[in-house]
Structure 1
């Protein structure tokens, strides 16, 4: 038996990638609305309530409007916007986040797809908070860079405009008011008492990202070693198909290889996992200085968006979790 799926907003960047990941599957049938009726509220409501699952790839307000049109108790909804990521009654769609999270997703009819930056941050931090290596009230900072597709249609159009209309900067920091919409999500699902200090940036490349959390180990109550952090992460994700923790040997090799005196390294490529639903975590440390840098590499359109949505869809419909991924 195949399940019917409606991607509301399938023409957007995330929607297109979700559809591509679902193409050719025999266990799913992707249905679309007649383009002439796309703005017809009654037609949309009828379709939203007639399928087995809905994936919303819409701006926040439009996503809320779509949810308001769903009256059926059996339709399973995955929302890719930020509208419900900390909302009561919604399950956070990061299956690897906690040992009970996958079961919660499977039993839920309302799942909020995680943001791309929070996926990297929570993936790095939550297991360490759970293991009490990082106190829940610790002041954390994350530095991150994403491809420009994470900025939506406006930024994509700007960065891909033909010369001379296009901008020329190679690197751009943003979120300077310190009120980025991902912060509440990172605090809530990272298990933190206070919002982290978030320093995001965008680069002149399409997709892929690096999320980094620096730590002063000497200041932490238990003064953990870099090895303690890596071992806690490895234990948390030992049986996961999509989250990998680099070995101590790999991290050491990366710290030395091609680095030279300045410490530059070309092997940590933000585009390394593009087109996949994978995320790879690294722990780089200096025992003498008692410092560490936690690093996550993922595709902002993969594990940070469309890949995670398909993974959640599989879990919610009782299908093999890795199907299409």
Structure 2
């Protein structure tokens, strides 16, 4: 019998992407609420309880309501909202975060799909904090750029309408209350809140995250090679992961570091650059904000939870 998959919120940006990724899958049965019943809470409850895996592509409050509608102990849940990312009893759905994280996801009944922005910084920072090269209280700043699809339907419609007149580089999160800060702090193992200063570019999807490091205040100032080795060793220990670490290199610019290069895939590539004389480094991650950053991660987590 094929596992039944219900996407609650299948007509939103992430839901549509998940439907597209699953369209050619013959090993699953996708169940959907009939159009005429879509706004009925009872219908949502019916389909949530009929599913083997329910993927929630909803605002936070609606996601919490969906979880409350599940009256059985068999439906597994992947929540793509921010509602449960640091909640007790929920596994964090970044399979490469630790060598045992994929197993934790596979055995979980409740998985919080990561946000797009935290995954790159977590991928680069967590190995450094875990290895002791960076202290947990190190001051962290995250910059970067993502495609406008990360802003959901209103931003997509706005950018499409403006076309070439849309902003090429639009900083946001200027109140320093970015919704992804709690999960970044928790899973990068930081002891206080980092600064997140993201930006949107005039392209549909894809992203680059950048973590600049001023290392001179540390008792032991790690070299770029040491930072790279710690990150490379972390991901080398993870079997079947989709995160690649680029070779350590000194380069003024690299054309391959393009926010759109992994669009349509679930891949992530991590880079380390450093100037040891200045005790400075940059940690970069390149991935698709709708792939590894959202729908691709949800499908990866679904496969783990179903043992596929």
Structure 1 residue 209 corresponds to structure 2 residue 207: yes
| Structure 2 unpaired stretches of 5+ | none
CA RMSD of aligned residues (A): 1.3
Could you tell me which residue of structure 2 aligns to residue 187 of structure 1? 185
- What's the TM-score, normalizing by structure 2? 0.96
Matched, 1:290 2:250: no
Q: Are 1:158 and 1:167, in contact at CA under 8 Å, matched by a contact in 2?
A: no
The structural deviation recorded for 1:229 is 0.7
CA distance in 1 between partners of 2:18 and 2:219 (Å): 43
Secondary structure (helix, strand or coil) at the match of 1:67 reads helix
Query: Once the two structures are superposed, what CA deviation does each residue of 1:225-268 show, in whole Å capped at 9, x if it has no partner?
Result: 000111111111114431000012xx33xx14xx4xxxxx5331
Conserved 8 A contact 1:217-1:225: no
Q: Hey, what's the Cα distance between the residues in 2 that align with 1:126 and 1:73? A: 33
Matched residues, number: 306
**1:170-185 equivalence runs, <5 A:** 170-185=168-183
Is the contact made by 2:96 and 2:241 (CA closer than 8 Å) also made in structure 1? Answer: no
Aligned with 2:50: secondary structure? Answer: coil
**1:69 maps to which residue?**
69
CA distance in 1, matches of 2:299, 2:149: 19
TM-score, length-scaled by structure 1: 0.91
Q: What is the alpha-carbon distance in structure 1 between the residues aligned to residue 205 and residue 53 of structure 2?
A: 27
Q: CA deviation at 1:39?
A: 1.0
Question: Which runs of 4 or more aligned residues in structure 1 lie more than 4 Å from their structure 2 counterparts after TM superposition?
Answer: none
Q: How does 1:237-316 map to 2 (within 5 A)?
A: 237-238=235-236, 239-248=239-248, 251-252=249-250, 255-256=251-252, 259=253, 265-316=254-305
How far has the Cα of 1:49 moved from its partner?
0.1
- Report the more deviating stretch, 215-224 or 92-101: 215-224
Q: Distance in 1 between matches of 2:219 and 2:60?
A: 40
